[in-house]
Structure 1
Amino acid sequence: MAVLNYLRTALIHHKHTLMMEVLKGHGLRYASLLHQEAYIGGKWVSAASGKLFPVTNPANSKVIASVPDMEVTDTEAAINSAYEAFQTWQTTTARERSLLLRNWYNLMEQHKEDLALIVTAEAGKPLSESRGEIGYGSSFLEWFSEEAKRIYGEVAQSPASSKELFFLRQPIGVASMITPWNFPNAMITRKAGAALAAGCTCVIKPAEDTPLSALAAVDLAEKAGFPPGVINVVTTSRANTPAVGKLMCTSPKVAGISFTGSTAIGRVLYEQCASGIKRIGLELGGNAPFIVFSSADVKSAVEGLMVAKFRNSGQACISANRILVQEEIYDKFSEALEEAVRKRLTVGDGFNKEVNIGPLININQLKRVERIVNESVAAGAGVVLGGKCHDMGDLFFQPTILCNVTEDMACFQEEIFGPVIALKKFKCEEEAVNIANASKFGLACYFYSQDVSQVWRVARRLESGMIGINEGLISTAEGAFGGVKQSGIGREGSRHGIDDYTYLKYICLGGIN
């Protein structure tokens, strides 16, 4: 056993050295942020089994690290640690929690360049976008450090002079968090910031493709002063994820779960939480329409679409997917769009300064995008630009524009999650709204119009949790992020982000003379 442990330690050290060499070559300053162990009960630990799984850079498919492949027993230990820590953490004052979150925010800001390098190394996104994500992620810690002090109760008017009625908001307990690979830093801070502000403790399972960002963020949380057990991170491979996820939903010591990911997985987790009547927050898939009315400023609409579509190579749940353009300006818009895509998008390794389109995250995602494009073309869609895998590497896809798209094509029916634009003409406002609403999803919508009356009419009628009007970038800590229909339950960010982590306690004080 001692020999096996020595070999495992040597392997971890070797992989750690490789990762350090890769990132130091790009300017990494603090190697202490690079962890290849999980974090449970205030300690950096290996899996009980000693097993590891690799983390690769999608730009070149090279292994950059190996992290613990944890199983149910490891996850149970993390849940127990969070449950024990909650007994004291829930009694801390709002000010104490606020100061710790502020410390975490300050450290995130201090180390933002290193954190961005880690995101690019494991997620593949261009470094400029990784920097943007770190800024976005840390903004949630700043926001919820302030909101911690604004979790107000209520005093209700009593029906009798002998009674007083109070409503208190209290933390629900241990919160499980399952986060995605496309925003590996921000999706953790958006959830954990709210939970910690409310007085909950956390067990976080990052995506198997991007665990390094989670471990780096929690390293800074530890340095910020959060007590042992308040924040825990369990890393696990794709093979062990179903069993680990099930425990995170069904454990009697878990009070609630927050998940960001596909609707299919969200549906499974929803069912698993039902047995324990858990509090649940789901931010699921989208199929966002992007409507350009004839009154729109075409130049602004093209700019907005470039942001809403190509950020993170289209791998965002709020990416514009179904592009609807009114027939009067269709030709003008499509020509301007094609020019912008041809001239402004550079595909490559995210560490190269001129690159603004990186790889897709893994081979499954590449095959999905390729299938959607091929099926749509076979059904009659025209290829204006791109349409194929890129010769830059195994996981790159060409920025693509499809035209002559119909509503029954795969590129309109499915969430693409890739750098593919699907264009369709429409005649009138009624038609555009009906097409936009003809989806089981309702996460985000975008539309461009300079007609004030139309702006109000369309905004009211669109079936979506979020709407960007003459704006392609809607994500912000101050905004209430979430969808309707099969795009999820609950809201993240804004003052409503804490709601999922508190319950309302009604106190009736009687016997007053």
Structure 2
Amino acid sequence: MANAQTADALRAVDAAEAAAPGWRNTSPRRRSEILRRWFELMTSHAEELALLISLENGKALPDARGEVAYAAEFFRWYAEEATRVPGEFRHTPGGAHNILVDHEPIGISLLITPWNFPAAMATRKIAPALAAGCTVILKPASETPLTGYAMARLGAEAGVPPGVVNVITTSNPGQLTNAILVDPRVRKLSFTGSTGVGRILLAEAAKKVVSCSMELGGNAPFVVMDDADLEASLEGAMIAKMRNGGEACTAANRFYAQTGIHDAFVSGLTELMRALKLGAGYASDTQCGPMITAKAVEKIDRLVTEAKDRGARVTTGGVPMVASGYYYTPTVLENTSPDSAIAKEEIFGPVAAVYRFETEEDAIRLANDTEYGLAAYVYSRDIRRAMRIGRGIETGMVGINRGLMSDPAAPFGGVKQSGLGREGGVTGILEFMEPKYFAVEF
């Protein structure tokens, strides 16, 4: 693999700068057509991309296929949004002049993406940036560089001009990122990753007052009320927990089951988790692939062991299996203490920790007992109750009787220590634009 050094990173900035005027002045319709063609190419190469993702990060092929479909949709969505950038015209209250507000491309954008969704996290940033008229530098995770290159290759085939999308891979990301952020030509940072790294990048970006969009860690609560449809809540729990083997920022981390449904929920979840087929991601019958690294398995096992020491009971799983890879058995814990580390830290693995609660107020209090606020899930047949609980939880996104909420047409992002800004939806393109106000007298 190409192992970029600082000089290479600055060459990427040079290329982005050289291409910027031409791309900025490319008509929205032409940018739209290129993005639409990119969507079509991803769709036609979907099976190859899915296999590549599975080989790179171990996720099961069904999950990889789902990621490719999701990733491609960002190109289709922003192909449409490229021609719909809003403006504003109105009179001043005093009548002295008119207010005209336009939106302009923010400029060269550094996009840093994680290994768990190497295609989708790239397209979620590239698509709105290009639709807005920005040129970009993509730095994919060192664990999954090939998917980033594959995406760029399809982009070139779709008609993206040279220099508009630049991909750099490196084993020294901190040094390269800092070099790019201090370059005055770079005006935007869009990062998806851990909260700890996000804080470091925000500090670096502050040195040059670089605009930042940060999609950071999560610790999603999954609330099951007594009146919930048990079968539906179990189906949703498996989606919210086991998508990508639990290696997702939106993954349900803390399962709160009300007393009346708790035992049945634990029993059902245990049965479903125990039935999952563990194996290599690319194998056709695999339902849960390996974790990304040995270190990831060690962290999961540490959290489970500490929870057991505090009284949690393992109803299935709870065993690392590293003889033939970085595997951890799908696990369910009950009687988990809210003071356990597993309740505070992002698990990023196939472990469902279940907690019992009594009242609606308890559910909201427990759900908010975290520094994170990215996603939450609520199950209840009473939609008013579910919405009331959802409004009470401090989070950027809520799934009501749904275990999957991500959609290119919806704003994705969190509150508290889970990030700044939103990706996707009609607002996603504005993250890569600056409003410009004209005071006009006519």
SS of 1:184's equivalent?
A: coil
Q: What is the CA deviation profile of residues 122-151 of structure 1, one whole-angstrom value per residue up to 9, with x for unaligned ones?
A: 011111111110000000000000000110
Q: CA deviation at 1:159?
A: 5.0
Paired positions, count:
442
SS of 2:82's equivalent?
A: helix
Alignment partner, residue 333 of structure 2: 402
Question: What CA distance in whole angstroms lies between the structure 2 residues aligned with 1:159 and 1:199?
Answer: 33
8 Å Cα contact 2:189/2:213 also seen in 1: yes
8 Å Cα contact 1:295/1:449 also seen in 2: yes
Q: What is the CA deviation profile of residues 24-81 of structure 1, one whole-angstrom value per residue up to 9, with x for unaligned ones?
A: xxxxxxxxxxxxxxxxxxxxxxxxxxxxxxxxxxxxxxxxxxx111111100000111
Alignment partner, residue 155 of structure 1: 89
Residue 227 of structure 2 is aligned to residue 295 of structure 1:
yes
Residue 319 of structure 2 is aligned to residue 388 of structure 1:
yes
Structure 1 residues 108 and 384, CA, compared in 2 at 3 Å: closer, same or farther? same
Residue 67 of structure 2 is aligned to residue 130 of structure 1:
no
SS of 2:166's equivalent?
A: strand
Alignment partner, residue 26 of structure 2: 92
Residue 211 of structure 2 is aligned to residue 268 of structure 1:
no
Alignment partner, residue 207 of structure 1: 141
Residue 182 of structure 2 is aligned to residue 250 of structure 1:
yes
Alignment partner, residue 338 of structure 1: 270
Aligned AA for 1:342?
R
Aligned AA for 1:340?
L
Q: CA deviation at 1:160?
A: 6.4
Structure 1 residues 252 and 338, CA, compared in 2 at 3 Å: closer, same or farther? same
Question: What CA distance in whole angstroms lies between the structure 2 residues aligned with 1:438 and 1:119?
Answer: 35
Residue 426 of structure 2 is aligned to residue 495 of structure 1:
yes
Question: What CA distance in whole angstroms lies between the structure 1 residues aligned with 2:232 and 2:175?
Answer: 47
Alignment partner, residue 428 of structure 1: 359
Q: CA deviation at 1:391?
A: 5.5
Deviates more, 1:264-273 or 1:370-379: 370-379
Alignment partner, residue 388 of structure 2: 457
Q: What is the CA deviation profile of residues 293-312 of structure 1, one whole-angstrom value per residue up to 9, with x for unaligned ones?
A: 00100111010000110111
Question: What CA distance in whole angstroms lies between the structure 2 residues aligned with 1:354 and 1:73?
Answer: 45
Aligned AA for 2:71?
G
Alignment partner, residue 23 of structure 1: none
Residue 99 of structure 2 is aligned to residue 165 of structure 1:
yes
Question: What CA distance in whole angstroms lies between the structure 1 residues aligned with 2:86 and 2:267?
Answer: 53
Alignment partner, residue 54 of structure 2: 120
Structure 1 residues 250 and 69, CA, compared in 2 at 3 Å: closer, same or farther? same
From 131, 142, 146, give the equivalent of 1:197: 131
Q: CA deviation at 1:507?
A: 0.8
8 Å Cα contact 1:481/1:493 also seen in 2: yes
Residue 233 of structure 2 is aligned to residue 321 of structure 1:
no
8 Å Cα contact 2:91/2:97 also seen in 1: no
8 Å Cα contact 1:348/1:392 also seen in 2: no
Question: What CA distance in whole angstroms lies between the structure 2 residues aligned with 1:478 and 1:468?
Answer: 15
Question: What CA distance in whole angstroms lies between the structure 1 residues aligned with 2:332 and 2:84?
Answer: 47
Residue 12 of structure 2 is aligned to residue 81 of structure 1:
no
Question: What CA distance in whole angstroms lies between the structure 2 residues aligned with 1:242 and 1:364?
Answer: 20
SS of 2:243's equivalent?
A: helix
Q: CA deviation at 1:162?
A: 6.6
- Summarize the alignment of residues 171-186 of structure 1 with structure 2, pairs less than 5 Å apart: 171-186=105-120
Question: What CA distance in whole angstroms lies between the structure 2 residues aligned with 1:391 and 1:175?
Answer: 39
Structure 2's unaligned 5+ residue stretches are: none
Alignment partner, residue 236 of structure 2: 304
Question: What CA distance in whole angstroms lies between the structure 1 residues aligned with 2:322 and 2:50?
Answer: 26
Question: What CA distance in whole angstroms lies between the structure 2 residues aligned with 1:412 and 1:250?
Answer: 37
Q: CA deviation at 1:436?
A: 0.2
Alignment partner, residue 31 of structure 1: none
SS of 2:320's equivalent?
A: coil
Alignment partner, residue 36 of structure 1: none
SS of 2:141's equivalent?
A: coil
Question: What CA distance in whole angstroms lies between the structure 2 residues aligned with 1:389 and 1:434?
Answer: 32
Aligned AA for 1:302?
L
Question: What CA distance in whole angstroms lies between the structure 2 residues aligned with 1:392 and 1:152?
Answer: 56
8 Å Cα contact 1:136/1:186 also seen in 2: yes
Q: CA deviation at 1:164?
A: 2.9
Q: What is the CA deviation profile of residues 446-472 of structure 1, one whole-angstrom value per residue up to 9, with x for unaligned ones?
A: 010011331221121110000001000
8 Å Cα contact 2:266/2:334 also seen in 1: no
The Cα RMSD (Å) is: 1.1
Aligned AA for 2:269?
L
Q: CA deviation at 1:92?
A: 1.2
Q: CA deviation at 1:379?
A: 2.0
Question: Quick one: percent identity of the two aligned structures?
Answer: 43
From 480, 499, 507, give the equivalent of 2:438: 507
Aligned AA for 1:222?
A
Larger gyration radius, structure 1 or structure 2: 1
Question: What CA distance in whole angstroms lies between the structure 2 residues aligned with 1:319 and 1:161?
Answer: 52
Q: CA deviation at 1:394?
A: 2.8
8 Å Cα contact 1:289/1:445 also seen in 2: yes
- Summarize the alignment of residues 228-247 of structure 1 with structure 2, pairs less than 5 Å apart: 228-237=162-171, 240-247=172-179
8 Å Cα contact 1:478/1:494 also seen in 2: yes
Alignment partner, residue 378 of structure 1: 309
Question: What CA distance in whole angstroms lies between the structure 1 residues aligned with 2:100 and 2:62?
Answer: 49
Q: CA deviation at 1:337?
A: 1.2
Q: CA deviation at 1:504?
A: 0.5
Residue 407 of structure 2 is aligned to residue 476 of structure 1:
yes
Q: What is the CA deviation profile of residues 316-375 of structure 1, one whole-angstrom value per residue up to 9, with x for unaligned ones?
A: 0000000100011111111111111122x1000112111110000012211111111111
Alignment partner, residue 61 of structure 1: none
SS of 1:68's equivalent?
A: coil
Residue 348 of structure 2 is aligned to residue 417 of structure 1:
yes
8 Å Cα contact 1:248/1:257 also seen in 2: no
Aligned AA for 2:248?
A
The TM-score with structure 1 as length reference comes to: 0.85
8 Å Cα contact 1:347/1:392 also seen in 2: no
